[in-house]
């Protein structure tokens, strides 16, 4: 009698293979190496490869499959990604790794006047006007121009002031072509200006070409002279759009008073500045984590070189700290606070720290944190750990801060 060969059931083979793999994973899940993998932080910060290896102590080299660049060519302070794999196939963790020499900066706290000229013209709204016959027109609205658009050029000519745009419109015959940036995309519009009842050619767009305000200087990079302030972007008051900088400056502000903060009503530093105020820095950048520029040598020379190390985010802890800020023209003073909450972050974000003001003199004078204090450096354990960014509207004794580390890499 001949026996017939029966082919193995594929589904049964796959099931057995799956059980074997599951059993192996369960086994490895309880090994010391796997416990070490689970205990790794959401991001690793190190000054050099030795520091990285120390942070990865207990993770076998065979599981560290790759440390690959993640969109940054800056080898002095760059983000990379560490992939930890089981059997070289199964990814267990992908962790951002920041390796670079620890920065030293000079903490400041001076109240500053901020003046920014926009690159292009920010549209803050569309309006209508009447012609000589009393008919109303709104050419920009009809063409599709929106609040928040940034006009880059008119008829191919770059414009950075409203006067420049008006000159091009006045010299046009027929329609004008607007090149506009909207949400990162460049768009083109054709608009036919209309003679208004005052005899001027108009398109009906309300535009802004500059902005001013009061804030606080955060720190100066002692090696490069790079300045950082605010800890958050300068945005247009009407549109909420981040202002693109053509040029700008920070100067020492004259403080004239404080509107004390109360629950539901944030206070504010009241001050002024003009062309005669001491120039501190230019402004070359405006982003999510603040405004940046290069310090003037005269201001830098007036400071004591009390540079401090910038803490890695994982080194910041709950407990006592201080902020440096100015309440009047007598200079920067140190005020006590408490770090009451920390957010674990694997990439740059604005709100990483919550502080509570405990200093009685600051509470008495200002009620806590007020508008204009944005940028005040936060110090802990002899390091600069963060920068004040926002006040809690319903509790001015508390506020958010950004990790200073992220600002040094902006």
Active site residues: 232, 359, 374
Whether 352 contacts 277, CB under 8 Å: no
**Cα 278 from Cα 271, distance rounded (Å):** 14
* Matching residue, tokens 């984590």: 289
CA-only gyration radius of the chain, Å: 28
At a CB cut-off of 8 Å and minimum separation 6, what does 335 contact? 322, 323, 324, 325, 357, 359, 361, 362
Q: b or e along 24-38 (b: 16 or more beta carbons within 10 Å of the residue's beta carbon)?
A: eeeeeeeeebbebbe
Handedness of CA 358, 382, 44, 62 (dihedral sign): negative
User: CA dihedral defined by 370, 376, 381, 383, rounded to 10 degrees?
Assistant: 170
CA distance 193 to 222: 52
Distances 265 to 132, 366, 369, 371 between C-alpha atoms, Å: 47, 12, 11, 11
Instruction: For residue 106, give the nearest of 410, 408, 409 by alpha carbon.
Output: 408
| DSSP tag of 313 | G
Sequential DSSP letters for 48-72: SHHHHHHHTTTS-GGGEEEEEE-S-
Per DSSP, the residues of 95-124 read EEEEEEPPPEEEE---EEEEEEEEEEEEEE
Pair 231, 388: CB distance under 8 Å: yes
N-terminal to C-terminal alpha carbon distance within the chain: 81
Distance CA 260, CA 364 (A): 9
Taking the C-alpha atoms of residue 195 and residue 35, their distance in angstroms, rounded to an integer, is 75
Task: Give the Cα separation of 378 and 269 in Å (integer).
Answer: 18
């Amino acid at each position: 009698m001949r026996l017939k060969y029966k082919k193995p059931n594929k589904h049964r083979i796959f099931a057995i293979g799956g059980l074997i793999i599951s059993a192996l994973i369960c086994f490895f899940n309880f090994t010391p190496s796997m416990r070490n993998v689970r205990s790794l932080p959401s991001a690793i910060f190190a000054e050099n490869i030795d520091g990285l290896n120390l942070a990865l102590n207990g993770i076998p080299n065979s599981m560290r499959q790759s440390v690959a660049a993640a969109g940054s060519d800056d080898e002095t302070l760059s983000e990379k990604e560490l992939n930890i794999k089981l059997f070289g196939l199964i990814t267990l963790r992908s962790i951002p790794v920041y390796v670079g020499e620890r920065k030293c900066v000079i903490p400041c706290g001076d109240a500053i006047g901020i003046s920014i000229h926009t690159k292009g013209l920010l549209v803050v709204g569309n309006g209508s006007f009447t012609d000589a016959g009393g008919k109303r027109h709104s050419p920009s609205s009809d063409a599709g121009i929106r609040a928040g658009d940034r006009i880059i050029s008119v008829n191919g000519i770059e414009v950075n002031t409203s006067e420049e745009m008006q000159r091009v419109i006045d010299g046009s015959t027929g329609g004008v072509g607007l090149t506009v940036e909207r949400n990162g995309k460049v768009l083109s519009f054709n608009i036919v200006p209309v003679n208004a009842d005052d005899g001027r050619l108009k398109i009906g767009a309300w535009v802004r070409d500059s902005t001013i305000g009061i804030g606080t200087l955060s720190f100066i990079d002692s090696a490069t002279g790079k300045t950082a302030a605010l800890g958050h972007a300068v945005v247009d008051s009407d549109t909420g759009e981040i202002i693109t900088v053509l040029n700008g400056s920070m100067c020492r502000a004259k403080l004239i008073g404080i509107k004390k903060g109360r629950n539901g009503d944030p206070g504010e530093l009241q001050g002024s500045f003009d062309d005669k105020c001491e120039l501190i820095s230019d402004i070359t950048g405006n982003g999510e984590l603040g405004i940046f520029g290069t310090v003037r040598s005269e201001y830098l020379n007036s400071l004591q070189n009390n540079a401090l190390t910038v803490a890695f985010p994982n080194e910041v802890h709950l407990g006592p700290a201080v902020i440096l800020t100015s309440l009047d023209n007598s200079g920067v003073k140190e005020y006590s606070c408490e770090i009451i909450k920390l957010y674990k972050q694997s990439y740059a974000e604005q709100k990483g720290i919550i502080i509570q003001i405990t200093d009685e003199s600051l509470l008495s004078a200002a009620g806590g944190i007020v508008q204009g204090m944005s940028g005040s450096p936060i110090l802990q354990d002899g390091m600069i750990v963060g920068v004040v960014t926002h006040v809690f509207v319903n509790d001015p004794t508390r506020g958010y801060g950004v990790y200073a580390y992220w600002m040094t890499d902006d």
